Amino acid sequence: MTAIEKLATALIWTIASLAVIFLMAPLVITVAVSFGDSTVFSLPPPGWSLRWYERLPTTRGLAASLWTSVQIAALSTLLALILGTLCAIALVRGTFPGREAITTFLISPLMLPGLVVGIAMLQGFRAFGLRDTWTSLLVAHVIITMPYVVRTVLAALSLFDFTLIEAARTLGCSYLQAIRKVLVPALAPAFLTSGMFAFLASMDNYPISIFFTDAWTKTLPIQMLQLVEERPDPMIAAVSTLLILLAVLAMIVGDRLVGLKRLADF
Amino acid sequence: MMRWLPRDRMLWLAAPALFYLAFFYAMPLIYLLGRSVIGPNGPTLSLFAGFFADEYNWRVIGNTLRIALLVTLVSLVIGYPVALALARARGLAQVMLLTAIILPLSVGVVVKAFAWQIVLRRDGAIAKLLVATGIWDEPQRLLFTEPGLVIGAANVFLPFMILPIYSVVKLIDPRLSEAGATLGASPIYRFRKIILPLTMPGLISGMAFVFSLSVSMFVIPSLLMGDRFQTLATLTGRSFLLMRNEALGSATAVVLLVLAVSIVVGSTILSRRIGKAA
């Protein structure tokens, strides 16, 4: 290696190490603050305590918003898995025209400004006569979760060898048996991974949910931001830490199922 | 195979999802666009004429583009070397880099923006670091300043720069660069003539991602800048949620939508053209 190559390599690795610190900093700081015993956000905290976690169950609105978020995230992920998987099978196996355009259309909610999509839905749903907040939230969140399912299941299906189904049929399986015994197990990791990340995307969504909340129905991020604005204290960090824990779990399961490198596929 | 469903009729499987998206997603967007150009007396551009006549709105557009450009630049300067490192990394280094990139992606923006509120305070970690290293003489507040906003947003969007670049870097055959070296090309020449052109499609899509995310971000500027500083997205949110000024909100929403769509479409065309030329 020449001197300039050594210099470039050293520079790349220095930036990469600093980037790891930079990227992890908000998560690490949130966790540290949540276990501190000071009411201001001094770092490192003067002492450690669980007082912010003890306050979570009694904070008004928090449990209710968590329950709303979990319900909406679970149901919207389930609906997205059903609709998205059927659609992905059609896109991979079908021979109809416009498949690439349809794929772009299905993924597009990830690329458009969430706030604009939210406003459009708010006005659109009103025009359709859909006024119930909870139902509107659910209907809107399927649009948020669907791209995650379509993207991952499409990738898994394009690696799947469909002649395996024919092989199972030759070996005496009925059509539905062949699907259940061959296709479903092959897609299971994709279902679980995309389902988890779709669930998290729904749990964390702010810009679309904000248009479908009222005094009784709020999702967790909406309630959290309201608390941040009303009285910022480390209790928010305690809620955040639980959400970070959820993300860590999702990543560990995702790593086991498909591997970290495939999670990074873009 | 599919006995009861020939392959040219597979479209039926896609129909439920397509109808769902058409009805609850595409139609509302078209309705929003339509209402912005159709007044009580037929088609009109008066909404936008009014919007663009107001000097304040130009300042808002300026804020939006300036911040988005800075965030994209910062992400590019950090993200490009990180993508190169990730492609070379093995073992523990690879796991650490991948974790640091993927984990924050599945943590909500409210959580991260709140953490940056803590970090950017006058007594926060960055101020302490800069004073300790002697760059600052005394602690200053970064919260509610533009540099603070750029740091926070770059942190949240950095993975969207790294991953598209990484997706093309990992495909580059290392022998190409070795062949160049054997033929006597200098490292800088090799970077300019081999690595840079081959990573260009990833570079463009990463920049487009970060730019359009920064243009549309709402929670981050709300928490890190406050009300005095408005971007197109925060103004859109405010006009609907606080001011109840639907005319202004629709105008900014449509401008934002057009901006985001043209970035995505433009960058796709650009990176395809470059991909073919390379």
- On chain B, the residues whose CB falls within 8 A of the CB of A109 are 25
CATH number of the domain within which A152 lies = 1.10.3720.10
d(CA B189, CA A200): 44
Q: Does B248 touch chain A (CB under 8 A)?
A: no
Only one residue has tokens 């991260």, namely B112
Burial A98-119 (b: 16+ CB within 10 A, else e): ebeebbebbebbebbbbbbbbb
> Out of A87, A113, A228, whose CB is closest to B114?
A228
> Out of B110, B155, B159, whose CB is closest to A225?
B110
SS3 A117: helix
Q: Do A94 and B158 touch (CB under 8 A)?
A: no
Q: Do A266 and B166 touch (CB under 8 A)?
A: yes
Q: Does B86 touch chain A (CB under 8 A)?
A: yes
Instruction: Encode pLDDT of A97-112 as tens digits.
Output: 888 899 989 999 998 9
- On chain B, the residues whose CB falls within 8 A of the CB of A33 are 118
What's residue B5's pLDDT?
63
- pTM (predicted TM-score): 0.92
> Out of B115, B240, B257, whose CB is closest to A26?
B115
Instruction: Encode pLDDT of B163-193 as tens digits.
Output: 999 999 999 888 888 888 889 888 888 888 8
Ranges in chain B, pLDDT < 50: 1-2
**What are the boundaries of each domain within chain B?**
64-106+146-277
Q: Does B129 touch chain A (CB under 8 A)?
A: no
Secondary structure (DSSP) of B58-108: HHHHHHHHHHHHHHHHHHHHHHHHHHHHHHH--HHHHHHHHHHHHGGGGS-
Q: Does B101 touch chain A (CB under 8 A)?
A: yes
Q: Do B7 and A95 touch (CB under 8 A)?
A: yes
CATH 1.20.81.30 fits B64-106+146-277, yes or no: no
What is the number of structural domains in chain A?
Answer: 1
Q: Do A83 and B17 touch (CB under 8 A)?
A: yes
Instruction: Encode pLDDT of A23-56 as tens digits.
Output: 999 999 999 999 988 777 777 777 888 989 998 8
DSSP secondary structure letter of residue B121: S
Question: What is the ipTM metric for this complex?
Answer: 0.92
Q: Does B4 touch chain A (CB under 8 A)?
A: yes
What's residue B4's pLDDT?
53
B window 133-152, beta carbon within 8 A of A: none
- On chain A, the residues whose CB falls within 8 A of the CB of B96 are 20
Q: Which domain holds residue A71?
A: 3-263
DSSP secondary structure letter of residue B22: I
Q: Does B26 touch chain A (CB under 8 A)?
A: yes
User: In terms of DSSP bridges, do strands B38-39 and B42-43 run parallel, antiparallel, or are they unpaired?
Assistant: antiparallel
Q: How many contacts (CB atoms, under 8 Å) link A and B?
A: 282
